[in-house]
Amino acid sequence: MDLETEALLFGKTLSRKRRNFKATLFAEISLKQHRDIQIYGLLSHKVWLELEANREVTDYNELPKVIQIPCGATVISHQFRYAARKISGIVEVIDIDEKGSGEDALVANENKEDKRNAIRTWCLNQGIEYRLITSESFIGSEIRLSNIRLMLKFMESVQDVRDVVSEDRVNMAVASLGPLTVRQILAELPDSDQAIVIAQLARGILSGRFRAPIERRPFDGALVIDLLKP
């Protein structure tokens, strides 16, 4: 990937004015980016939850700049929905195919497949991974995504009042007494702020320190949490 492409994909846009299309707006605080962000569209928000929670993703941009991509004898202007960088150094770009939204350059175009192939070829030549998200991409993931959003909200709520001592006590309780339910862990730490305890449990699950069946069970008092053993 050349330096110009790097700048287009990861250069953060200062202006966050509402874009001119009809879509659900999500105003979020990114704990990974340490800034406020705006996300347009339900599928885009689901992708954001995955990127924000994925410990393999070190950086992402929710509004990459437009890139000129060769397509046959012409050049197309294309804006990826997300660009993400992983711990491995691999860069991934993400498009979202929201049928009927009228906002995606890949939709409602008779040359859609030609354009998509041109985009894939450009990514391959740049050494970039390409992913296309559709309405089917998150089938079966609703419980997990709902849990991720709730966990991020707990983490966000205590971000300015982090308590290292309480967080260490949570880690020790899970390591020495687990598996325990969230309710049992709170009972073991009655003198600790409940929000800090729950946020640390969420942080531990998302970081891979703890294990919990968040793809099947709600993140609530009955969720069983244990230390992730090697």
Give 139-177 pLDDT, tens digit per residue. Answer: 999 999 999 999 999 999 999 998 999 999 999 999 999
Q: Which residue has the higher pLDDT, 182 or 74?
A: 182
pLDDT of 107 over the 70 cut: no
Q: Which residue has the higher pLDDT, 19 or 75?
A: 75
Q: Rounded CA gap, 32 and 11, in Å?
A: 16
Structurally, at CATH architecture level, domain 3-133 sits in 3-Layer(aba) Sandwich (3.40)
Q: Rounded CA gap, 39 and 77, in Å?
A: 21
Which residues neighbour 33 within 8 Å (Cβ) at sequence distance 6 or greater?
59, 60
What are the residue ranges of helices labelled H in the chain? Answer: 3-10, 42-53, 112-126, 142-157, 164-177, 182-188, 194-207
Residue ranges covered by each domain of the chain? 3-133, 142-227
Q: What is the pLDDT of residues 41-57, one digit of tens each?
A: 999 999 999 999 999 99
Fold exhibited by the domain 142-227: Arc Repressor Mutant, subunit A (1.10.10)
Fold match, 3-133 / 142-227: no
pTM exceeding 0.75 = yes
